[in-house]
Structure 1
Amino acid sequence: MSSSSSSVERYSRPAIFFHWAIALLVALAYLSIEIRGPKDSDSREFWSSIHFWAGVLVLALAVCRVLWRLWQSPPPERESNALLVFLARLAHLALYVFIFVQPLLGILLSNTAGYPVNLAWLNLNFTLVGADAIASPALQAAHVWLGNAFYWIIGLHALAAIGHHVIFKDRTLRRML
């Protein structure tokens, strides 16, 4: 296979960067919220700051990723099975919704709880909406529910990539490496 046909089958370097950077930041956001420590502790403040940073960076990179995708189309789909193509598109749509909605829910949750989103070490605070005692619990529930649901979606996405590599022995995984 020539290098030009190989490069057409792979995602572009920026697309690969956005994919893996967002994946690492999502993992960091999950990790930081799980190990943040007890309320009013230095550990909780530190890890909550990491969680906020990870979420804001996921949102920023998601915008860049979509802009890049509009400018540079992805390589052609390799799958010929209509059901697998549908499931892949559905999973990717769900992942895109997640990387936009989850950080926005987090920002709105902080704001409606009466706190600006504080990006520590930059002294940058921002507020999209004011405090709202009614909306805050609903946003909390949505943020937690979506975070828990996406453990499954992310796991299925990774499992599908590994399945393509190990079972189908195709280049689907390698296209994003």
Structure 2
Amino acid sequence: MSVHSSSSERYSKPAIFFHWLIVVLVALAYLAIEIRGPKGSDSRAFWSDIHFWAGTLVLGLALCRLLWRLWQAPPAEIESNPLLAFLARLAHLALYVFIFVQPLLGMLMSNAAGYPVDLAWLNIEFSLIGPDAIAAPMLKSAHVWLGNAFYWIIGLHALAALVHHFVLKDRTLKRML
């Protein structure tokens, strides 16, 4: 439960900051993994590092965002169709699961493959689990599957924001700008 309630019609500045920075970092992580290049190349090493760093930053910001959300309530929901409100809550829950689970799966996948996690530019390495030849491919499959599934969820979330703005003409999108 939130300590402070929100009477504003917009999200707070920190909530907006966390939202858009996570958007940029998720987009960067996706871009990096898509253009990384062939195995063994300098390009692959560079873009893989960008992907890993973006993922660790997403996880750190997701934690900050969740703590902020627990402390500062979001603005009141816009009155809408109960089905749309349910779908919005479901999509937001899925997005929160994604920004926590996907980076954790990536970290576990790296650890199971025998590589420690290097926290974004801090020169801190750690492992959550030890090398595990059986778990590594399963974690990789889960990480790839979830990443692919969330192309769709993220796309639907963005499309819903645009529909709210241009079709329903409500203030849903403006609350996060």
TM-score range, shorter chain: over 0.9
- Alpha-carbon displacement from aligned partner over 1:11-35 (angstroms, at most 9, x marks no partner): 0000000000000000000000001
Structure 1 unaligned runs (5+)? 1-6
CA contact (8 A) 2:54 2:120 kept: no
SS of the residue corresponding to residue 167 of structure 2 reads: helix
1:120 offset after TM fit, Å? 6.7
Task: For 1:140-155, list aligned pairs within 5 A.
Answer: 140-155=140-155
Cα distance in 1 between the residues matched to 2:159 and 2:55: 24
Alignment match, 2:82: 82
* CA–CA distance in structure 1, aligned partners of residues 149 and 57 of structure 2: 21
Cα distance, 1:121 vs structure 2: 4.8
- C-alpha distance in 2 between matches for 1:145 and 1:31: 16
The letter of the residue matching 1:16 is I
1:119 Cα deviation after fit: 4.2
| Length-normalised TM-score, structure 2 | 0.94
- Count of residue pairs the alignment pairs up: 171
Larger relative contact order (Cα-Cα within 8 Å, sequence gap ≥ 6)? 2
Instruction: Quote the residue 1:111 is aligned against.
Output: 111
CA deviation after TM superposition for structure 1 residue 126, in Å: 1.4
Q: Which residue of the partner structure matches residue 28 of structure 1?
A: 28
Match of 1:98 in 2: 98
Measured against aligned partners, the alpha-carbon deviations of 1:1-52 in whole angstroms (never above 9, x if no partner) come to: xxxxxx7100000000000000000000000000111111111111111001
* SS of residue paired to 1:9: coil
In the alignment, is residue 40 of structure 1 matched against residue 3 of structure 2?
A: no
Query: Structure 1 residues 79, 120: closer, same or farther in 2, change over 3 A?
Result: closer
Deviations 1:71-124 (A, max 9, x none): 000000003311001000000000000000000000000000011123475432
Moved >4 Å (runs of 4+): none
Q: In the aligned structure 1, how far is the partner of 2:50 from the partner of 2:126?
A: 16
Q: Does 1:57 align with 2:57?
A: yes
SS at match of 2:8: helix
RMSD (Å) for aligned C-alpha atoms: 1.1
Q: Percent identity?
A: 78
1:168 alignment partner, SS class = coil
Tell me how far apart the structure 2 counterparts of residues 175 and 150 of structure 1 sit (CA, whole Å): 23
Correspondence for 2:157: 157
